[in-house]
Structure 1
Amino acid sequence: MLGINALTFLEKEGFPLLKSYLAQNEKEAASRSLEIGYPVTLKISSPDMIHKTEAGGIRVSLKDEIEVRHAFRELVDSFSSSYPEKWLDGIIVQKQGSGIEVIVGMLKDLQFGPVLMFGLGGVFVEAMKDVSFRLIPINASDAKDMMEELKGYDILRRSRSGPIDLPAIEDFLLQFSRFIVLHPEVKEIDINPLFISSLGSGVQICDARIKVVK
């Protein structure tokens, strides 16, 4: 599952998401943007496209209806001309994310079972490869240790904008662990990015990719 399908699945499971809608035309995109509140992000939703950024399938920090309509046309035209053989669900209209980006994921090891991965997102993913791992299920102590093991832990702990909601990260990791235990059909999942903001603001999923055993 990719795009809006992955986001809808996670929302039904009670995970916190950035407000997101699927738009089929410019008018709907503009209407949803006004409902969400500017700035917004527009991105391609297609079951055939995993890496939207590399494919030029995202437009960020759109501040008004004119920018939204232009971005919508641009995304649809670019997708249609570059990938005529691929299916387009529509364009996701999403509240612009803010805060520190982290990644949360799970893959199933043939010997040990589901393994939880947590790390810094954004530029830090490639630059630092700063991640920690635990076998699922985890407890509260595991969740805290996973954060503190990161080389970039100080980035989480000492944001320029003030205290980051570290308790919300712990809660999310525990929720994620419980979700995996309850859903053995989920073979692999990648949440990237997950936005973390100031203390008390919680966390919000921006994008996700899910593989399910059929």
Structure 2
Amino acid sequence: MEQASIVPRISGTDRVAAARIIEAARAEDRRMLGIEAFDILKAYGIPVVNTRFAKTVEEAVNAAEDIGYPLVMKVVSPQISHKSDIGGIRLPLHNSAEVKAAYYDMMESISKKMPEASLEGVQLQPMLSGGREVILGMVHDPTFGPMLMFGLGGIYVEILKDVRFAIAPVDEREARDLITGIKTYPLLAGVRGAKASDINALVDIILRVSEFVCDFPEIEEFEINPMMVFEEGKGALAVDMRLVLKW
């Protein structure tokens, strides 16, 4: 593994806006950022899926009507990082009745499974189709500092464990090597007549994440999973993420 090179800053990033969000979490003695972390991605020019937060079932229904159906509902809790493990994801929801039922059932079942969890509400997002799930993350190594990680997302992460690492910051060549270096890269490149994924969009996002994690050494862990990448020319969207600060 080569030492990371010095790379120029990317245009269209707002470090000050991201710093305000992280400082607010620090002031509240919170290590894990919630839905506000999506605003950090936006500050660094990383595209995110349309996401609405709702504290009540009424707000959830209103948000759902604005987003449109079908959609996904996810629980929001600082104590819950892996939502699917606790039944904190419901999909697909096709109308307001299903939104209400999912909201009440989710709150009741999770309260029984994790009575210590603070359930702040839910986030709602449109159902996405036609893309592939990838994972993009960072862990802070005590020797090398921020280590970027890339691989196929969703179930493939646990089953295949097909990921690559690189020391941040990375340049465009190193970002592209992260992508092409995974064993399952042919799935992204397009095999057996399948359309190729938007590799250039992924390269740009990796460069922006690289700059972000280097700007904030107080980040212990960072993960976008999944990132939905669509066919060539159609970009990618961050769907879910977690961000953990150092003590």
TM-score range, shorter chain: over 0.9
1:161: Cα distance to partner? Answer: 5.6
Deviations 1:92-128 (A, max 9, x none): 1112233100111111111111110000012211221
Deviations 1:132-163 (A, max 9, x none): 11110101111111111111011111166623
- Residue equivalent to 2:163: 131
1:62 paired to 2:93 = yes
Letter in 1 for 2:40: F
Structure 1 gap segments, 5+ residues each: none
8 Å contact from structure 2 (residues 73, 125) kept in 1? yes
8 Å contact from structure 2 (residues 44, 208) kept in 1? no
The Cα RMSD (Å) is: 1.6
Equivalences for 1:96-175 in 2 at 5 Å? Answer: 96-98=127-129, 99-158=131-190, 162-175=195-208
Q: TM-score, normalised by structure 1?
A: 0.93
- Residue equivalent to 1:89: 120
Residue 225 of structure 2: which of 172, 189, 192 is its match?
192
1:2: Cα distance to partner? Answer: 4.4
Residues of 2 paired with 1:110 and 1:155: CA distance? 33
Equivalenced residue count is: 214
Structure 2 gap segments, 5+ residues each: 1-31
Deviations 1:6-50 (A, max 9, x none): 334333443211111111222211111121121110011000111
Deviates most, 5-14 or 196-205: 5-14
1:58: Cα distance to partner? Answer: 0.4
Q: TM-score, normalised by structure 2?
A: 0.81
Letter in 2 for 1:193: P
8 Å contact from structure 2 (residues 135, 226) kept in 1? yes
Residues of 2 paired with 1:172 and 1:12: CA distance? 12
For the structure 1 residues 166 and 54, does the alpha-carbon distance in structure 2 shift closer, same or farther, using more than 3 Å as the test?
A: same
